[in-house]
Amino acid sequence: MKNKGVKNIEISVFGELRILVDDVDISQAIWASKKKTALLEILLLNRQRPMSVTRLAEMIWGEDEEINAENALKTLISRLRKDLEESGLNGAILTVPGGYMWNPDLPANIDVFRMEELCNTLLDAESLDPDIRDQFEELLHLYTDDLLTNSNLSKWITPKSVYSHDLYLKTVYRYIDLLNQEKEYGDIIRVCKIALDIDAFDSMLNLELMSALLKTGKNKEALEQYQNTTNLQYTHLGLKPSDEIVNFYKELIKGEKNSEAEIEEICEELRKGKPDAGAFVCEYAIFNDIYHLQMRNLKRLDTSMFLALVDVHRMDNKQMEALELKQVMARTLDLLQENLRQGDTISRYSPLQHVILLPSVPNAKMARIVLERLKRLFYSNSKNAKYIFSYSVTPLVADN
């Protein structure tokens, strides 16, 4: 059965369920009932196939044995049809042998199916002709959030949502590959920022964004993006950055020196960079390089060096929220930097840990004295009253 007199039906299932009939939003009438909303979500996402009464009842009411599922479903179908018909959607739900289905002849544009159609075409794209470019841009405009984020059917929706999310990212990667072939780095920056609004933790998007920023001379912005990325992964996921991102950072800090210089010029440049007070703080990739440099000196000069690991956690052993973790680890880092020597090196190793190189400590007793002093200073701050500061320290021995 086809609707007559309806010019346009737009249905969005990315984010909240929304239905526009001739540009009029009719979603509110459906949202009034969670069960009606759930029924409509199921029928929409399975628009090409019938859903049996048993399956629909199981998905909507679960294992509620007190419900006469068949009668309850008939009543629910009737109410949903009435709401849709009052909004001009006659014949939207069909009764079929053994169940119900969304009317496939209804002239409705449903965003998730348009997205899949676009992705299936674009993943095989070999070049960026105007039509292909327009389709990629349509995809970026279409996918604005995960599938039905407020649905009560999360157990059933989640696998479909993950599939759509992964398909979207895979297609965006293809777009970025083609833009790289054309050296359109400005567009890569724009596309990455749009996609990162969807998935801020995606390593490949962050890496492509930083690389494009670097290629367009935006070194400072690339460094800021690196810092934002690593902070997000530390505080929200409890992860260290990927090897690819760490290697990018090492290349970034090298800077670009395209012209030759006299040694006096280099000396003058180095003299201008005054070291910060206290210990040196760096990313773990740089910490690792400093460690190997110090180990060479250890072997050549026959000196001592110690490695310390500082842990901070709550006394009640509860997991910290992201903001709390950020604040307590920032206070700890400030404490370490201000109260260690300029020759010492500090790096964040994990969400709750800092690692420290102590190259000028003469023996194990002195190393423990240094760490105990830091521990006392930590507890002297009333903001740290509910946290435990612990540490371990070990001597480093040069390999033969």
CATH number of the domain to which 383 belongs: 3.30.70.270
> Which residue ranges in the chain fall short of pLDDT 70?
1-7, 63-66, 234-243, 250-261, 266, 269-270, 272-276, 302, 399-400
Q: Is 58 a domain residue?
A: yes
CB-based burial, 68-82: b 16+ in 10 Å, e otherwise: ebeeebeebbeebbe
With respect to residue 194, please indicate whether it lies within any of the assigned structural domains. no
Domain end: 164, 182, 200, which one? 182
Q: How many domains does the chain have?
A: 2
Using alpha carbons, select from 82, 83, 78, 87 the residue that is nearest to residue 5.
87
- Say if residue 34 is in the same domain as residue 176: yes
Per-residue pLDDT, 200: 87
Residues 165 and 303 in one domain: no
pLDDT value of residue 360: 80
pLDDT score at 275:
63
Q: Is residue 361 part of a domain?
A: yes
Q: What is the pLDDT of residue 254?
A: 59
Q: State which residues form the domain around 311.
A: 277-395
Same domain, 125 and 1: yes
Kindly report, residue by residue over 43-96, the tens digit of the pLDDT: 999 888 898 988 888 888 876 656 777 788 889 999 999 888 888 888 889 999
Which residue, 157, 182, 207, sits at the end of a domain?
182
Q: Are 146 and 165 in contact (CB under 8 A)?
A: yes
Q: Residue 229 domain-assigned?
A: no
In CATH, what number is assigned to the domain containing residue 73? 1.10.10.10
What was the pLDDT predicted at 377?
95
Residues 171 and 289 in one domain: no
Does the residue 246 lie in any domain? no
Of 127, 160, 182, the one marking the end of a domain is 182
**Residue 75 CA neighbour count, 13 Å, CB half:** 8
Sign of the alpha-carbon dihedral angle for 274, 279, 282, 284: positive
* Residues in CB range of 247: below 8 A, 6 or more apart: 285
Which three-class secondary structure string do you get for the chain?
A: CCCCCCCCEEEECECCCEEEECCEECHHHHHCCHHHHHHHHHHHHCCCCCEEHHHHHHHHHCCCCCCCHHHHHHHHHHHHHHHHHHCCCCCCEEEECCEEEECCCCCEEEHHHHHHHHHHHHCCCCCCCHHHHHHHHHHHHHCCCCECCCCCCHHHHHHHHHHHHHHHHHHHHHHHHHHHHCCCHHHHHHHHHHHHHHCCCCHHHHHHHHHHHHHCCCHHHHHHHHHHHHHHHHHHHCCCCCHHHHHHHHHHHHCCCCCCCCHHHHHHHHHHCCCCCCCEECCHHHHHHHHHHHHHHHHHHCCCCEEEEEEEEECCCCCCCHHHHHHHHHHHHHHHHHHCCCCCEEEEEECCEEEEEECCCCCHHHHHHHHHHHHHHHHCCHHHCCEEEEEEEEECCCCC
Residue 360: how many other CB atoms lie within 10 Å: 14
Q: What is the dihedral of CA 38, 44, 46, 50, to 10 degrees?
A: 90
Contact (CB, 8 A) for 358 and 367: yes
Indicate whether 104 belongs to any domain: yes
306 located within any domain: yes
Cross-strand bridge partners of residue 346: 281, 356
- Domain identity same for 13 and 162: yes
The pLDDT value given to residue 236: 60
Residues 149 and 27 occupy one common structural domain:
yes
Domain assignment present for 244: no
pLDDT (0 to 100) of residue 2: 46
Q: Give the pLDDT of residue 238.
A: 59
Distance of CA 147 to the CA centre of its chain: 16
